[in-house]
């Protein structure tokens, strides 16, 4: 086996072991009914809350825009939870051990919080396929596989962005909830969830272009509007590319953070 | 509870909250929610709804902060191993909890200034309060009702298997039922009676009337509903906490509470 192949096997093994941890964490947090009636119910209420603003504005078009945007945003919110769960390793006191282990720490964190984008995809798809028709947004059966793919792209692209933020929150776990809330709310504001990105000034639009959610959502909107395959594929590709770039940035940030922590003993226990 | 003790507990909680950045996250979320709501109303060319868009994040902050405080006060005492010592003091524990929640809730009313500033500096909208006395009374009674309800919530957190899930679950369903942004008249008819049991719906009605020009009709009944529902929450919370404590003292399971 050459060096590259052996490295891929190593990375897969690390991510798989960390993902088993993620699954155990998820099962300890939720039961099927607390996820369904607690989390999912709450997120559907959030989507309805924003959709009703459209009704309040007496605009069917606005209602449709808001319900679709906020349904996709549910997977963004959930995938971004990685910002919070990454810092849990410090509260558990396991970070120093991870820093001492021979495998690259970034890949551990890639697997460590996979429960969130997976659960987020479930939440988004329920919102899109069950709640949205009540507000006039319908997807044909033939569109569903593409819709699933686009939601997965959006959730995992955002997960890369969240991981990048998580690498910094490791150094300051006390602000994890602030960073998490700010990150998903800024995304919800500028990425075309509530208003078209064109509403914002040029600088803000530029930031929005760097977010996978902006492109993932644009692709879902194009699909819902029955646009041509090219009009759906282009933003989907942008979502994939920005997602990969954020993941690369996150792995680099974890690598640099681990190097710095090893030198300065920076990974002590912290709640 | 004596006023001195109330003040000491209140002050302690203010100091603790100010030193824990994460508990102040509503001061980050309030301006961002204001931005979201104002972007929607401005994009729809509905400046007349700016007052609604500024008030909603304030009510959301009050509720979120009360939920957070209600949910985590007991949990933190338990984690730090200080719960037994606090319960053993002569002060009634439910009153200590109420004073601490009141401090957190009062702090979160500062989000009003933030929301107002976002409207002014970010969108060039000057939100004026047409009926200042009604607004101040409404805000104070809402904060008090919030503290009362949070006392009840803190008891629920003790009984619930996962406080964090309950905390997450109780946010948007209540924002929806409470009509914090969109009046409850826009909810489906079958859901509207349930919103009457949520004091937020009455608070939102009072505060919206206070920022709207023209006479403010029907606010006395709404203010009364806020007071009554807040008192009911406080009474239920006090009763529950006292009963739970009496039981765990007998069974010797306080540490597992």
pLDDT one-digit tens code per residue, A137-189: 999 999 999 999 999 999 999 999 999 999 999 888 888 989 999 999 999 99
Which of A 34-53 lie inside 8 A of B, CB atoms?
34, 38-39, 41-43, 45-46, 48-49, 52-53
Q: What are phi and psi of A240, to 5 degrees?
A: -65, -45
Query: What is the number of structural domains in chain B?
Result: 1
pLDDT at B164: 66
Q: What is the mean pLDDT of residues A225-248?
A: 97
Residues 175-194 in B contacting A (C-alpha not used; CB under 8 Å): 175-176, 181-183, 186-187
What is the residue range of B236's domain? 3-256
A181 with B171: Cβ contact below 8 A: no
Interface membership of A181 toward B (CB under 8 Å) = yes
**Å between B210 CA and nearest CA of chain A:** 20
Least confident residue range of A3-7, A66-70, B138-142, B187-191: A3-7
Residues B189-226 as b/e (b if ≥16 CB within 10 A, e otherwise) read eeeeeebeebbbbbbbbbbbbbbeeeebeebeebbebb
A99-127 pLDDT, tens digit each: 778 888 899 999 999 999 999 999 999 99
- B61 CB burial (10 A radius; 0-12, 13-18, 19+): buried
Q: Which residues contact A124 (CB under 8 A, 6 or more apart)?
A: A71, A72, A74, A75, A151, A154, A155
A188 CB neighbours in chain B (<8 A) are: 36
Q: Within an 8 Å CB–CB cutoff, is residue B25 touching chain A? A: yes
Instruction: Give the pLDDT band (50/70/90) at residue A97.
Output: confident
Predicted ipTM of the assembly: 0.92
Kindly provide the residue ranges of all beta strands, DSSP E only, lying in chain A, ordered along the sequence: none
A139 part of contact set with chain B, CB < 8 Å? no
Residue with tokens 């995304």: A187
Whether the CB of A21 is below 8 Å from some CB of chain B: the reply is no
Reported as a pLDDT band with limits 50, 70 and 90, residue A2 is: low
Q: Please, what is the average pLDDT of chain B? A: 86
Which residue did the predictor score with more confidence, A228 or B148? Answer: A228
Would you call B63 helix, strand, or coil by DSSP?
helix
A57 touches chain B (CB under 8 A): yes
- Specify the DSSP element, H or E, that contains A160: helix A144-169
What is the pLDDT, as a whole number, of residue A3?
A: 66
Could you tell me which residue, A42 or B74, shows the higher pLDDT? A42
In chain A, residues with a C-beta closer than 8 Å to the C-beta of B21 are: 174-175, 178
Q: What is the pLDDT of residue A79?
A: 97
If you average pLDDT over every residue of chain A, what do you get? 92
B35 Cβ under 8 Å from any chain A Cβ:
yes
């Amino acid at each position: 086996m050459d060096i590259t192949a052996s490295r891929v096997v190593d990375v897969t093994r690390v991510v798989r072991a960390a993902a088993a941890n993620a699954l155990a964490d998820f099962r300890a947090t939720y039961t099927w009914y607390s996820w369904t009636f607690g989390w999912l119910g709450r997120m559907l209420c959030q989507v309805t809350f924003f959709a009703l603003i459209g009704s309040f504005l007496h605009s069917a078009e606005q209602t449709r825009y808001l319900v679709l945007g906020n349904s996709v945003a549910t997977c963004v919110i959930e995938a971004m939870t990685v910002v919070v769960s990454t810092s849990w390793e410090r509260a558990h006191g396991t970070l120093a051990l991870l820093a001492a282990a021979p495998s690259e720490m970034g890949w551990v964190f890639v697997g460590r919080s996979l429960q969130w984008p997976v659960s987020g995809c479930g939440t988004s798809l329920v919102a899109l396929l069950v709640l949205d028709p009540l507000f006039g947004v319908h997807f044909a059966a033939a569109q569903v596989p593409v819709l699933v793919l686009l939601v997965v792209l959006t959730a995992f692209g955002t997960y890369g962005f969240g991981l990048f933020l998580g690498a910094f929150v490791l150094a300051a776990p006390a602000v994890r909830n602030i960073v998490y809330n700010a990150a998903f709310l800024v995304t919800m504001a500028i990425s075309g969830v509530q208003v078209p990105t064109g509403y914002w000034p040029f600088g803000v639009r530029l930031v929005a272009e760097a977010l996978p959610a902006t492109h993932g959502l644009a692709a879902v909107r194009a699909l819902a509007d029955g646009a041509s395959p090219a009009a759906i594929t282009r933003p989907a590709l942008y979502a994939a590319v920005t997602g990969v770039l954020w993941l690369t940035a996150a792995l680099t940030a974890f690598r640099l953070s681990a190097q710095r922590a090893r030198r300065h003993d920076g990974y002590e226990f912290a709640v | 509870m004596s006023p001195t003790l109330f003040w000491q507990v209140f002050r302690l909680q203010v100091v603790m909250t100010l030193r824990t950045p994460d508990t102040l996250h509503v001061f980050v979320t309030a301006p961002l929610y204001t931005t979201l709501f104002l972007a929607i109303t401005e994009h729809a060319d509905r400046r007349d709804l700016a007052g609604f868009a500024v008030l909603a994040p304030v009510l959301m902050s009050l509720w979120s902060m009360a939920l957070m405080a209600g949910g985590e006060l007991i949990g933190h005492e338990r984690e730090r191993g200080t719960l037994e010592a606090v319960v053993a003091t002569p002060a009634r524990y439910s009153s200590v909890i109420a004073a601490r929640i009141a401090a957190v809730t009062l702090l979160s009313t500062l989000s009003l200034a933030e929301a107002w500033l976002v409207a002014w500096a970010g969108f060039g909208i000057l939100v004026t309060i047409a009926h200042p006395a009604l607004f101040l009374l409404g805000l104070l009674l809402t904060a008090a009702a919030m503290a009362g309800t949070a006392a009840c919530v803190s008891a629920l957190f003790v009984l619930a298997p996962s406080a964090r899930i309950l905390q997450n679950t109780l946010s948007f369903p209540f924002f929806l039922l409470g009509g914090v942004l969109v009046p409850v008249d826009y909810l489906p008819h079958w859901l509207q009676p349930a919103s009457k049991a949520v004091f937020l719906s009455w608070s939102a009605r009072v505060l919206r009337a206070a920022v709207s020009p023209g006479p403010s009709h029907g606010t006395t009944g709404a203010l009364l509903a806020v007071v009554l529902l807040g008192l009911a929450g406080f009474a239920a919370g006090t009763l529950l906490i006292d009963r739970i404590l009496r039981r765990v003292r007998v069974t010797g399971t306080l540490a597992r509470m």
